[in-house]
């Protein structure tokens, strides 16, 4: 089968949790953080927290003293992530499940309620990024993409809100694709545009309760998703997951009476 030539610009997914993540050494600095209150003892749920950006954010939260709940479909990856986070000495709870399944999401937050009684931080990171033209995209792929990237975010937010109080924070990992469009990624682009609209509406609904909602708009990040999505991508131009994690932690650590509504971070050289 002939290889497809990469387009001049390709989507820059913000790390789908379903992609295989190889062991690699972190690039960039560790978590250089701003002032503001720390996260010691806070309860943080990270979907897709077993690899890539999700794991980097989960580890940064653990390094800050948070109790981290990891939610993902890959049991082996969850075990590995739990080992990584456990070295910080704080509680780590791996939960196997699927953000597209309402019963699975409800069970997750019921377990969080039973174990910890609340949610202080929710990181909606789980996602997938199929590639293909509109003509090539099967309906089941389209539906799975929207179910994961958009409906999954909705289900997790809806289930978490009853456990949140003033000062709690929701971070939706949307990718810069939420603001841009690229060829051969219609399902991914549509799901992320929808998730950005959802994030804005949610923020307006809960800001009166003192709950903060942040849209994370990240450009190209060096993860193994590119092995399948665009093998020839110039990885030397990409950001490290730990860089994105540090920016997220900075935003979450701000005093409760302030919010960075959108975190937009790109490689210095811009779009690929």
Question: Which tokens sit at 67?
Answer: 């109790």
What three-state secondary structure class fits 171? strand
Please, what sign has the CA dihedral across residues 9, 178, 254, 115? negative
Which residue in 31, 116, 182, 188 is the catalytic one?
188
Q: If we measure between CA atoms, which residue out of 260, 254, 241, 226 comes closest to residue 20?
A: 226
Tell me whether residue 88 is one of the annotated catalytic residues: no
Counting every residue, how long is the chain? 272
- CA-to-CA dists, residue 82 to 34, 89, 160, 188, angstroms: 26, 11, 22, 29
Half-sphere exposure of 243 (CA within 13 A, CB side): 17
Residues designated as active site = 188
């Amino acid at each position: 089968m002939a290889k497809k030539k990469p387009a001049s610009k390709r989507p820059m997914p913000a790390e789908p949790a379903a992609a295989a993540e190889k062991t690699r050494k972190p690039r960039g600095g560790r978590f250089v953080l701003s002032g503001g209150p720390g996260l010691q003892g806070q309860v943080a749920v990270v979907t897709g927290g077993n690899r890539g950006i999700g794991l980097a954010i989960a580890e940064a939260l653990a390094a800050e003293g948070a109790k981290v709940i990891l939610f993902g479909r890959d049991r082996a990856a969850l075990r590995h992530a739990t080992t990584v986070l456990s070295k910080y000495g704080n509680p780590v709870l791996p939960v196997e499940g699927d953000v597209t399944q309402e019963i699975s999401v409800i069970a997750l937050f019921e377990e969080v309620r039973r174990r910890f009684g609340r949610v202080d931080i929710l990181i909606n990171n789980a996602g997938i990024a199929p590639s293909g033209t509109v003509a090539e995209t099967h309906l089941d792929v389209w539906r799975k993409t929207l179910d994961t990237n958009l409906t999954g975010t909705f289900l997790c937010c809806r289930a978490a809100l009853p456990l949140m109080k003033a000062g709690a924070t929701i971070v939706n990992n949307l990718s810069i694709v939420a603001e841009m469009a690229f060829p051969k990624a219609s399902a991914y682009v549509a799901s992320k545009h929808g998730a950005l609209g959802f994030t804005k509406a949610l923020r307006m609904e809960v800001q009166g309760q003192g709950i903060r909602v942040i849209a994370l708009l990240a450009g190209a990040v060096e993860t193994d998703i590119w092995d399948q999505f665009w093998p020839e991508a110039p990885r030397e131009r990409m950001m490290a997951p730990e860089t994105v994690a540090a920016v997220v932690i900075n935003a979450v650590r701000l005093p409760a009476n302030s919010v960075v509504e959108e975190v937009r971070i790109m490689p210095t050289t811009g779009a690929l």
